[in-house]
């Protein structure tokens, strides 16, 4: 498979052909918030269209956050950021469009060619640091800077997805119980749930640059819990890095946020090391080597060709001759005149025939549509009448049972499937810990931290539906709900996936089998089904252990 095929994937059956007037040409990828497509402006410039997942789009809290993301992104103006050009948080579905960057992500470039040379890493750090300056100037902390969020264009890097914290409904500080980011590139204060500032992005910049220089994460790969533990409790091994980069990396990766370099200092340090190349603009030559073969962007999708009816044939205009004054003055028509008259006659007949055919077809279509509408209306009326009859009959039977013609439970409630499939309700950015269990009926009920942890833990263990417990091992458990995980290499579990997983589920799920990206399903006796997508799991220190992620609930879906 060539690189162009990997970048531009064909649209699938469930992809919309257009979004807010933008005709979609290909898929670019998918993430936790939704799918990303390639499209073009009216002038033909390629753009990336991010379309939000339906279950998130249905949540008013998410829409408010997404609206803030659009407004914040509009304030960011930098040479090394992907410019937002359009968006609508109230659209169906919500979407936004940024200029498309024709180049691979840093993660893709390193996977294809291996570690970058030192000059390329210096150019990378300078460009990303300048992007952070623009993002921070708009009052935004990126929170999720990583190799896949840095695209490599021909003239330098571009930082994308800097609105994630706002779309999640949180501010420049970490919201209670919320941890946003990717474990391998988190800062210590972010991994431990502390305050997140612009210095947090500088730590992620150091890790991203180290990945570019080494070809792998500085703190190692594998289980996210182990990675987070190393980030919080150990110093990074800078001896693995090229000697020229170690002093700057040490500043960026300082454990104390106050000791880290600022983005402006990173830019200046890199310019000094690049020397004359920085002033001579040698960056593009470096990027051409790193980017690999140029990828041809698919052409804009043409608008459908409009279907026109056959035009009526115009009647030829004959040259007027002077009318004769009397019968004796009539002259025989010439050959040319006879031919023109014949053509005019045929033209008139053809025009009349086409007009009649067009009107006849139009009348037939109108009659057919009217008949179908009448039939459909009659059918709907009959079905509605039958349904009402059945409901009335069922209601009569129910009310007629028991003493006095009433049931002990009152009026019967409608079937949950009577009005179609259950609706998904999204609850983004939730955290489960010893003091923050999960109540499926009100997922944000225990979101606020309490002062008396011991009393809160004891009370929550008695009342909560799904609890986070750490005894000999950490687990999720419940007295009423059943819990299971969806063992799949491809993310994207659905209500059907949960139904299958919950068919053989228990009231406890050990967290040893869970990692970032794992999908956990819950089912209550009431029939509510929940899908929890794990973002971060931290169980190394049980007293402060937690698991955070996004929850989707389908009410009365079992």
* pLDDT single digits (tens) 341-356: 554 544 444 444 444 4
Q: What is the pLDDT of residue 42?
A: 84
* List of residues 6+ apart from 37 with CB closer than 8 A: 11, 15, 19, 24, 25, 26, 27, 28, 48, 49, 51
144 is a catalytic site residue: yes
Q: Which residue has the tokens 């501010």?
A: 171
pLDDT category at 32 given cuts 50, 70, 90 is low
User: Can you tell me the mean pLDDT for 266-292?
Assistant: 77
Buried b (16+ CB within 10 A) or exposed e, 101-113: bbbbbbbbbbeee
DSSP assignment, residue 219?
Answer: T
Q: In the sheet that 424-433 helps form, which strands lie side by side, from edge to edge?
A: 424-433, 546-554, 529-538, 519-523, 482-485
The overall average pLDDT reported for the chain is: 75
Q: What is the pLDDT of residue 156?
A: 86
* pLDDT single digits (tens) 160-185: 887 554 433 333 333 333 345 678 89
118-132, 300-314, 435-449 — which is least confidently predicted? 300-314
* pLDDT single digits (tens) 509-553: 988 778 777 889 999 999 999 999 888 777 766 777 888 888 999
pLDDT at position 421 over 70: yes
Q: Read out DSSP for 68-126?
A: HHHHHHHH---TTB--EEEEETTSSS-EEEEE---S-BHHHHHHHH-SPPHHHHHHHHH
Q: What is the pLDDT of residue 213?
A: 96
Cα angle 95, 96, 101; round to 5: 135
Residue of 14, 58, 59, 144 marked catalytic: 144
CA atoms of 185 and 271, how far apart (whole Å): 25
* pLDDT single digits (tens) 537-546: 777 667 778 8
7-21, 144-158, 217-231 — which is least confidently predicted? 217-231
pLDDT category at 488 given cuts 50, 70, 90 is low
* pLDDT single digits (tens) 40-97: 988 888 999 999 888 788 888 888 878 887 887 788 888 889 888 889 988 888 998 9
Name residue 418's beta-bridge partners.
none
Are the beta carbons of 291 and 3 closer than 8 angstroms?
no
Name residue 508's beta-bridge partners.
477
User: Can you tell me the mean pLDDT for 391-410?
Assistant: 38
* pLDDT single digits (tens) 468-485: 998 777 899 999 999 998
């Amino acid at each position: 498979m060539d690189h162009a095929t990997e970048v531009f994937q064909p649209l699938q059956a469930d992809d919309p052909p257009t979004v807010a007037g933008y005709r979609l040409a290909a898929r670019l990828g998918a993430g936790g918030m939704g799918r990303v497509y390639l499209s073009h402006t009216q002038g033909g410039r390629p753009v990336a269209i991010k379309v939000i997942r339906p279950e998130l789009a249905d949540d008013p809290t998410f829409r408010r956050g997404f609206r803030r993301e659009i407004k914040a992104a509009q304030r960011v103006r930098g040479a090394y950021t992907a410019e937002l050009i359009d968006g609508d948080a109230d659209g169906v579905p919500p979407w936004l469009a940024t200029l498309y960057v024709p180049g691979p992500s840093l993660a893709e470039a390193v996977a294809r060619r291996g570690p970058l040379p030192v000059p390329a890493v210096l150019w990378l750090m300078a460009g990303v640091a300048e992007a952070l300056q623009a993002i921070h100037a708009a009052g935004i902390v990126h929170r999720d800077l990583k190799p896949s969020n840095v695209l490599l264009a021909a003239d330098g890097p571009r930082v994308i997805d800097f609105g994630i914290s706002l779309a999640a409904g949180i501010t420049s500080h970490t919201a209670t119980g919320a941890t946003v980011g990717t474990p391998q590139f988190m800062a210590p204060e972010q991994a431990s749930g502390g305050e997140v500032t612009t210095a947090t992005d500088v730590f992620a910049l150091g890790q991203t640059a180290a990945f570019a220089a080494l070809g792998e994460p500085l703190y190692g790969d594998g289980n996210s819990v182990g990675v987070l533990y190393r980030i919080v409790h150990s110093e990074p091994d800078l001896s693995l890095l090229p000697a020229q980069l170690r002093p700057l990396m040490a500043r960026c990766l300082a454990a104390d946020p106050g000791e880290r370099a600022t983005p402006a200092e990173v830019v200046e340090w890199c310019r000094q090391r690049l020397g004359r190349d920085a002033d001579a603009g040698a960056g593009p030559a470096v990027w051409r080597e790193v980017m690999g073969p140029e990828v041809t962007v698919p052409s804009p999708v043409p608008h459908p060709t409009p279907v026109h009816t056959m035009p009526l044939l115009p009647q030829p205009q004959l040259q007027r001759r002077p009318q004769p004054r009397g019968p004796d003055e009539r002259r025989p028509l010439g050959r040319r005149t006879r031919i023109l008259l014949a053509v005019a006659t045929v033209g008139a007949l053809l025009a009349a025939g086409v007009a009649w055919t067009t009107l006849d077809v139009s009348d037939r279509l109108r009659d057919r549509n009217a008949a179908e509408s009448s039939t459909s209306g009659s059918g709907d009326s009959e079905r509605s009448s039958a349904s009402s009859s059945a409901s009335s009959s069922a209601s009569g039977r129910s009310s007629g049972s028991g003493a006095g013609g009433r049931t002990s439970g009152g009026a019967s409630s409608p079937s949950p499937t009577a009005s179609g499939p259950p609706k998904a309700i999204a609850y983004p950015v939730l955290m489960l810990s010893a003091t923050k269990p999960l109540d499926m009926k009100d997922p944000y009920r225990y979101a606020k931290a309490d002062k008396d942890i011991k009393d809160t833990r004891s009370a929550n263990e008695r009342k909560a539906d799904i609890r986070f417990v750490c005894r000999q091992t950490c687990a999720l458990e419940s007295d009423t709900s059943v819990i299971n995980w969806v063992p799949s290499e491809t993310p994207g579990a659905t209500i059907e996936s949960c139904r299958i997983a919950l068919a053989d589920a228990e009231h406890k799920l050990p967290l040893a089998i869970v990692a970032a990206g794992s999908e956990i399903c819950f089912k209550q006796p009431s029939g509510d089904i929940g899908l929890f997508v794990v973002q971060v799991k931290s169980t190394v220190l049980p007293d402060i252990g937690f698991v955070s992620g996004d929850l989707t609930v389908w009410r009365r879906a079992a």
